[in-house]
Structure 1
Amino acid sequence: MTLYLVGGGPSQALAPVLDAFVEEVRARGKRVAIALLGSAEESAAVLDAYADPITSRFPGALIEPIWLTDEDEGPIEWPADPENLAGLVVGGGWTPGYLEALTGWREMISTLLRRGVPYLGWSAGAMVVGRHAIVGGWQHRGRQVVPEIVGEGSTELDIRDGLALIGPSIETHADTQYLLGRALAALQTGPMRSIAAIDEETALVVDVTSGRSKVLGRGRVTWVSADGDRFVVRFEPRDSQPADES
């Protein structure tokens, strides 16, 4: 029952993350579902970017895409017998769209995790897993807290119910897009109690059963929480000893 939450897209620096994910997949079977936002026509071109790091390590893996489309394009089709999947990957892109498309499948995803299916979330796929999800915005009460380009279509900070696979909320691209400021604003605004801000080329690996975590990759994870009118900030560097953050 492991969540691999990556602060950006596929990268050579994430080899240890992919090695660990594929090892868990092999122990369960061959079928790996990859969920991407958009129709097959819109997103097929990026499927290989997420599939190749898996199939290069596990040539026998069977990749089964899930196209996360709008309701007006018909129901989202999941692979047959999803309980027999060996792994689930959720790609990156427009975070509000991923959350909206996956919310209806929250119980299924949670059930898969309880059955031991590992989850690999890239960027948006990592941001949606918390009890509450930061899905966009670049201002807090009219004040700019991050660059406008990372607002994902929203001006004011946008916090929604997440998939609730873990308690803490997740920010990604923390170092390259200066998103720690948005995490602090979210703690002032939203109901979340703690946020893990994950650097690019870095992953937070969470054991869902124990709630313990470790960091793999080039960067670090910055944990921020609110304590009354103060913020508590703690840095968790790569290859650190596991810490209980559930």
Structure 2
Amino acid sequence: MSIHLLGGGWADDESRWTGRFVDEARERAGGPPTIAVVLWAEDADEGATWHDDYRDDLTKLGAGTVNVVQLTAERTLLPTDLGGADGIFVGGGLTPGYHAAIMPAADTIRGLVSTGVPYAGFSAGAMIAGDVALLGGWRIGGVAVAPEKNGEGLDEVTLDAGLGLVDLVVDVHCAQHGNLSRAVAIVHAGLSDRVVAIDENTSLIVGVGGLQVAGDGSVWTADRDGDRVSIGVLAA
């Protein structure tokens, strides 16, 4: 089974990217799968406004049961929240909030994935999936490397331990929000040797067969190349 890193964005038909995750969960379940959807918001009432959207989207793609787990600053993820899940879907929002609330159950997520449960991370859920998580920020050493609105409440670009599902630092909303420069700057500053930045309505699928790209856009790569940063593009 695979790790599905989704770059954000919404579409009427997501079968070519999010649908790939649901298909893997169905294969594991041998029928309509149970998907655990993990969401974070400032408070539970705010988060509840998204519950039906996620249920409807995943059901349309073939999920049987969608169990939404609503996290807040006071309510972190518990191992029991993921019991019986054939697939784990971590949604989008404020990345530092997701990171703080989900990392207490990181061992459980890694354990389930190691047994074949597919993981999908949408935006924030993708950014925290790596060995090293990108939490946000728009400056490095006080120098702007991305639009300030992309900082997620952080000034300096901030990296921290992630879920450990992939050996990549992940950025999202790349073409739409102008985040390629942040990916390049992270590598140039020596904070990581490789960053992938995923467009909206696009997924980077990490599995036993290597890397695949699905959807409408591209996955941009920034790799250290001696004293330089090498830029690449992976298209669907």
The 3-state SS of whatever aligns with 1:8 is coil
Give runs of ≥4 in structure 1 deviating > 6 Å.
none
CA distance in 2, matches of 1:197, 1:125: 14
CA distance in 1, matches of 2:159, 2:18: 29
In the alignment, what sits opposite 1:31? 34
Instruction: Tell me if the contact between 1:93 and 1:124 (Cα under 8 Å) persists in the aligned partners.
Output: yes
Spell out the pairing of 1:126-137 with structure 2 (5 A cutoff). Answer: 126-137=126-137
Corresponding letter in the other structure for 1:221:
V
The Cα offsets for residues 204-231 of structure 1, whole Å up to 9 and x where unpaired, read as: 1110xx3601111111111111122111
Tell me: CA distance 1:13–1:189, structure 2 relative to 1, closer, same or farther (3 Å): farther
Aligned residues with identical type, % of pairs: 35
In the alignment, what sits opposite 2:68? 65
What TM-score do you get using the length of structure 2 for normalisation?
0.91
Corresponding letter in the other structure for 1:106:
A
After alignment, is 16-25 or 140-149 more displaced? 16-25
In the alignment, what sits opposite 1:233? 231
State which of 51, 57, 72 in structure 1 corresponds to 2:55.
Answer: 51
The Cα offsets for residues 85-136 of structure 1, whole Å up to 9 and x where unpaired, read as: 1111100000011111111111111111111111111100111111112111
Tell me: CA distance 1:48–1:237, structure 2 relative to 1, closer, same or farther (3 Å): same
Tell me: CA distance 1:74–1:54, structure 2 relative to 1, closer, same or farther (3 Å): closer
CA distance in 2, matches of 1:80, 1:89: 12
CA distance in 2, matches of 1:217, 1:75: 32
Instruction: Tell me if the contact between 2:7 and 2:122 (Cα under 8 Å) persists in the aligned partners.
Output: yes
The 3-state SS of whatever aligns with 1:192 is coil
The Cα offsets for residues 175-195 of structure 1, whole Å up to 9 and x where unpaired, read as: 011101111111133542211
Tell me: CA distance 1:106–1:188, structure 2 relative to 1, closer, same or farther (3 Å): same
Spell out the pairing of 1:91-130 with structure 2 (5 A cutoff). Answer: 91-130=91-130
CA distance in 1, matches of 2:193, 2:209: 15
After alignment, is 222-231 or 174-183 more displaced? 222-231
Q: Which runs of 5+ in 1 are unaligned?
A: 239-246
Aligned residues: 232
What do you get for the CA RMSD once the two structures are aligned? 1.8
Corresponding letter in the other structure for 2:62:
F
Instruction: Tell me if the contact between 2:76 and 2:104 (Cα under 8 Å) persists in the aligned partners.
Output: no
What TM-score do you get using the length of structure 1 for normalisation?
0.87
User: How big is the shift at 1:13?
Assistant: 5.5
